[in-house]
Amino acid sequence: MRVSLNWLNEYVDVPSDLKEFCDRLDLTGTGVEGVEVLGDAFKNVVTGKIVSKKPHPDSDHMWVTTVDVGLCNLDENQKPAPLQIVCGAQNFEEGNHVVVAMIGAVLPGDFVIKKSKLRGVESCGMNCSARELGLGSDHSGIMILPDDAPIGIPFADYMKSSDTVLDLEITPNRPDCLSMVGMAREVGAMYRMPARNPLSSMKAKIDSSPKIKQANAPATVEIADANRCARYTACVIKGVKVGPSPKWLADRVIASGTRSINNIVDVTNYILYLFGQPLHSFDYDKLLSKDGVAHIIVRGARDNEKMTTLDGEDRVLSSDMTVISTPDGAVALAGVMGGMDSEVTEETTDILLEAATFNHSCTSRTSRNLGLISEASMRYERIVDDNPIADIAQAAAALIIEVAGGSLVTFDGNDIGLVDVYKEHTKPRDLTFRVKRFRSMMGEDIPQKDIEEILGLLGCEVGEGDKADILHVVAPTYRPDLEREIDLYEEVLRLFGMDKITPTLPGGRGRNASKSLRQEKLALLNDTLRASGLNETMTYSFARADDIDVLRLPKEGLGLAVELLNPLNADQGVMRQSIIPGLLRSVSYNQNRGVKNVALYEIGTVFFAHEGKKQPIERQKVAGVLAGSMHEVSWNRNDAPFDFFDGKGVLENIAREFAIPKIRFKEANGQDAPHLQPGRGAWMLSGGTVLGWVGEIHPEVAAAFDINASVVAFELDLDQLTAVSAPARPYTDVPVFPAMNMDVAFVVDEDITCEKLTQFIQSAAGKLLESVSLFDVYRDEKRLGKGKKSMAFALCYRAQDRTLTGEEVEAVHKKMIAKVCNACGGEVRA
Amino acid sequence: MSLTDELALLQTQTLGAIEASQSVAELEAVRIAVLGKQGTLTGYLRSMGQVAPEMRAEVGKTVNTVRVVIEEALASAKQTLEAKELSERMLASSVDISMPGRAQQIGTRHLINRISDEISEIFLGLGYRVAQGPEVETDYYNFTALNAPEDHPSRGMQDTFYVKDLSGDKSGVRGESDVLLRTQTSGVQVHVMEGQQPPIYIVAPGKVYRRDVADPSHLPQFTQMEGLAIDKGLTFGDLKGTLDYFCKAMFGPDRKTRFRAHYFPFTEPSAEVDVSCGICHGEGCRFCKGTGWLEILGCGMVDPNVLRMSGIDPEEYSGFAFGVGIERVACLKYNVPDLRMLLDGDMRFLRQF
């Protein structure tokens, strides 16, 4: 809310130190979002007097003037020095008081005043017209001030337009602060001084306003549903003259952030800003029924009922919205915006003034459903107090009559001319304040005197309860947020000062800080992936609806996609079911920017929805992508491009670190893994549990994600990994006796896998074989034959209880070779 | 020339040859020429049989003396030459140590998770556990159980992502639903309080979603760290002390904190916490927009309604809660100019941390 300090000062003494005041507002809960100094536009604009006026030697319409600006311009001896100004206006004489924009002034439209020469004559400023000052449309000549206008003072001071406006963030629990009187009360409580409320004196003015008395009420009010409207008042003023507002009124509404529209609308806005009570003025004639009376009905809108609001928009309504209606149809959207058809225009002479309160939830829903937030709806949403409505309506009527003329219509039995239908009274709330409990909860012995003073200044009645340290507090009706004892604690704490509370650390018995199994595994996984050279990234949890199809990922076990009802764009229409599409986009992002080597991983949530279930299943996945190679080409290293085995190696590292038992890789095929390049993909299993997959992304899929390179990827289920992970690896004895190492190469058919051959070797060599590892694969059609390959293994023989002899090992090795050749149909390579 | 003289000459010549040797190999050649199987001195030993018997002892003694002298000279010369050759070899094999080393590439942690870990560790040290909750939440856990009014503006379609409710339930407001992407990690508070009796000390890091179009200072998906402490006798002073400790641990011991009263539906009293600007130390500069303070988190005493809804008696227990925006901390600590970089996966960005 914009708060003019000149205006606020009428109701409370505004502290003179602006910075300290803003800090204090910030600390007590009213955020200062901006400070605007009005009148800044008139910097270097001063009042002056034409001392001389001579024709320009080289022009038949310009004048060379000398203008006295008093102390605003001084010569080297610090004496007042009049300015020479060339002027083209014809409407002035010597001795006239005028407005001078001196060098350095910036007039509206970023018009900078500089020293210049006009047809050879030096000019040190400009005598201004009203239009040049942004004060109106008059450009018939320069602005002539009254002869008693002081000379040589800032024009802003002369206009009394210098003001400071604070842009305040009012939290949603404080409807009272959306008004000048509320802010004055708040500032009073901040500085422990009283604030002044102008309501009773403004209301009293109605007694002396002109009135027209008639027999029957000019309007009737019917509230069809008390839940929608607790109180509705209407009064009619006849014979108003709609026109421009007086300057003081226009200044107030402009400072508060609204345009000055006309005297009637400006009064309703003025009252809104002053008391926080939204008003609406209708053109009375437009509401009249055939019987010459305005019959106001507050009712629910009908579904698909239509009306045009003041902003010119055609609105389609629904039954949860409230309208102000006549028997002929809706004339306003209650609490949100008036209707176009009953708007007050320049032709209007009679008005009906509405002051009411509407249900906050209804108003909020209406605004949300229509996407229409107004100064009125914002206040109704936060609850407008029904108690002072009649007084405010009368104060408003008196002010309208004061600025626009006209007479209040009174009628038999109603001397104040107010039709007031009051369905539900809000009563002040009785609360208890336990001083001892308050202190123990704050951790500070806040004096009872301070507590009572603060609550009193906020408008609470504070009395003693049963015990001296239990207070009985009556909260005012304009503070709907003060419902409970805790609400009072907050008020006292923030106004006493949070900075005065001593910081302490909780003692707290019986607590322990430990990481959960999942967090420990998560940390282990992160460490392992980083040690494997991968870089952690984060991509959107949102995905395109067709991501899984484009990726060709098998949909089994993925459920349905979680659909967003209001996505930001089509690319983010659902929640992801796999992390891979996001990572592929990152590969493309990097490659498009010339970064060829990409090694990324992400650990995050994927979402699987199911028909009939409110919430989806959320699973943690770990996924990675490798493209290019691990290192840049270096003087001592030339990495091969990433392939399947780099991905598999990462998974082997994870399997080792997670101590996953019975780990194995099963070849993926075109049916069960169409997203992978055939022959270059595998499923990772622990026993019978599938943990995930690894492989080279199918080139067509990569191309669909705008990647023009081979990409190795993997995606594992973190919950499964954690479930199969053993708590620790068991200890085995470090060997004491020496080992014997033997190498052997078998020439076998292409379809004999490394896994199969290794199994043959292990079973044939028996328990003396400690380890076997593949160290070379060799293909040569000429030497080995077509469809054949040579696989060379390093074998390590060792006994746990003795040193093996050469003969012993030779014998076992020879037997093993024979058995293996027999089993795989291969032969030993010579 | 007598045999003795001959031996003396041989000794002199040999010592000269040893002295003249420039390498271990030359020295070895000298040794072989003198002491080898065909060596000159060896020849004298072999021909001892031809020496007159009365002379044998004398000659034998002389030959042995010469041999000892030569062997000693050889050993000493060898040691010298070996040392010389080693130093020459080492000199020849020196490298340009400014060339890059041979390192296995170590991967990097994402900045946001790095900070999130850092915060978790600080609170682990204060006795907190790490908790978590679902990202797709119900209206109840995200709003209602946190005391958010039925018609709170944050529940609007403009601010919250709603999700298709497959259970068949319908929402009262157009376009909304009972299921949504959580807008705050505070819902985890409720899950924890429902499942555990006090004392409760937890932090809950996680992703949250708000309907902001991505730009340099907004993301529709970001990260929060929620904190909750519920115990007997917890005070607002404890809240202040805890967050003051946190800010100093996170930003440096010389940083100050200030608490500004604020409003959140799920805490009362509520506050926003600022930390003093690390660049101007509170004087006011461009980084802190002239205020000297940087907003860092929101906090407050847990509202009694929230406690009651989760089955905890507010007369017996009190507590406090706080929420930190991790991206906010990232910006303050690392001056990241554009939040979207956090989600691009650009290797050149990721490898900086």
pLDDT band at A136 (very low <50, low <70, confident <90, very high): low
Rounded Cα gap, residues A357 and A393, in angstroms: 12
Closest chain A residue to B232, measured at CA: A508
Span A508-537, average pLDDT: 90
Cβ within 8 Å, pair A536-B164: no
Specify the fold of A40-159.
Answer: OB fold (Dihydrolipoamide Acetyltransferase, E2P) (2.40.50)
CB < 8 Å from A in window 20-39 of B = none
Does residue A537 contact residue A586 with C-beta atoms inside 8 Å?
yes
Weakest mean pLDDT among A99-103, B151-155, B306-310: B151-155
- A747: pLDDT strictly greater than 80: yes
The CATH number, out of the four listed (3.50.40.10, 3.90.105.10, 3.40.50.1820, 3.90.79.10), of the domain defined by the range A201-422: 3.50.40.10
A2-39+163-197 matches A429-495 in fold: yes
pLDDT for A281 equals 95
The CATH number, out of the four listed (3.90.1150.10, 3.30.930.10, 3.55.10.10, 2.70.180.20), of the domain defined by the range A517-724: 3.30.930.10
Cβ within 8 Å, pair B136-A616: yes
How confident is the prediction for chain A on average, in pLDDT?
Answer: 92
Q: With pLDDT > 70 as the criterion, what percentage of chain A qualifies?
A: 99
Specify the fold of A740-828.
Answer: Alpha-Beta Plaits (3.30.70)
Residue type, A504: T
Return the residue matching tokens 């379809």: A751
- Helix (H), strand (E) counts: chain B: 12, 10
Cβ within 8 Å, pair A612-B167: yes
Residue type, A379: R
> Chain A partners of B347 at a C-beta cutoff of 8 Å?
535, 590, 595, 597-600
Span A405-426, average pLDDT: 93
| Paired tokens of A511 | 């607590």
- A508: pLDDT strictly greater than 80: no
- Strand A163-169, strand A31-38: pairing: antiparallel
ipTM: 0.87
Residue type, B160: T
Does residue A670 contact residue A678 with C-beta atoms inside 8 Å?
yes
Closest chain B residue to A19, measured at CA: B291
Does residue B320 contact residue B243 with C-beta atoms inside 8 Å?
no
Q: Name residues whose C-beta falls within 8 Å of residue A286's C-beta, 6 or more positions apart in sequence.
A: A331, A341, A342
B178 and chain A in contact, CB less than 8 A: yes
Is B15 buried (19+), middle (13-18) or exposed (0-12) by CB count in 10 A? middle
pLDDT for A632 equals 86
Closest chain B residue to A596, measured at CA: B347
So where are chain A's domains?
A: 2-39+163-197, 40-159, 201-422, 429-495, 517-724, 740-828
Residue type, A418: L
pLDDT band at A741 (very low <50, low <70, confident <90, very high): very high
Residue type, A467: K
E strands of chain B, at which residues?
Answer: 129-130, 136-138, 162-163, 179-181, 200-209, 221-231, 257-264, 267-276, 293-302, 318-325
CA-to-CA dists, residue A605 to A229, A573, A617, B192, angstroms:
47, 16, 10, 20
Q: Name residues whose C-beta falls within 8 Å of residue A116's C-beta, 6 or more positions apart in sequence.
A: A122, A123
Question: Mind listing the pLDDT tens digit for each residue in A170-227?
Answer: 998 999 999 999 999 999 999 999 999 999 999 999 999 999 999 999 999 999 989 9
CA-to-CA dists, residue B353 to A227, A430, B112, B223, B296, angstroms:
58, 57, 10, 18, 22
A22 and chain B in contact, CB less than 8 A: no
Rounded Cα gap, residues A200 and A639, in angstroms: 87
Provide the 3-class DSSP secondary structure of residue B45. Answer: helix
Does residue A637 contact residue B102 with C-beta atoms inside 8 Å?
yes
Span A732-757, average pLDDT: 93
pLDDT for A166 equals 93
So where are chain B's domains?
A: 3-92, 111-350
CATH, domain range A2-39+163-197: 3.30.56.10
Question: Mind listing the pLDDT tens digit for each residue in A641-656?
Answer: 999 999 999 999 999 9
Rounded Cα gap, residues A707 and A591, in angstroms: 8
| Paired tokens of A225 | 């549903």
pLDDT for B188 equals 92
pLDDT for A140 equals 79
Q: What is chain A's Cα-based Rg?
A: 43
The CATH number, out of the four listed (3.30.56.10, 3.40.50.300, 3.40.640.10, 3.40.605.10), of the domain defined by the range A429-495: 3.30.56.10
Closest chain B residue to A636, measured at CA: B102
Question: Mind listing the pLDDT tens digit for each residue in A596-613?
Answer: 999 999 999 999 999 999
B336 and chain A in contact, CB less than 8 A: no
pLDDT band at A690 (very low <50, low <70, confident <90, very high): very high
Confidence (pTM): 0.82
Name the helix (H) or strand (E) containing A772. strand A769-778
| Paired tokens of B257 | 């904190």
Provide the 3-class DSSP secondary structure of residue A719. Answer: helix
pLDDT for A730 equals 84
Considering all CA atoms of chain B, what is the largest pairwise distance in Å, rounded to the nearest integer? 135
A563 and chain B in contact, CB less than 8 A: yes
The CATH number, out of the four listed (3.20.20.100, 3.40.350.10, 3.30.930.10, 3.40.640.10), of the domain defined by the range B111-350: 3.30.930.10
Rounded Cα gap, residues A442 and A502, in angstroms: 9
Rounded Cα gap, residues B273 and B282, in angstroms: 14
Distance linking the first and last C-alpha atoms of chain B: 88
pLDDT band at A38 (very low <50, low <70, confident <90, very high): confident
| Paired tokens of A246 | 């007086």
Question: Mind listing the pLDDT tens digit for each residue in B157-182?
Answer: 778 999 999 887 776 566 678 899 99
**Is the previous residue joined to A480 through a cis bond, with omega within 30 degrees of 0?**
no
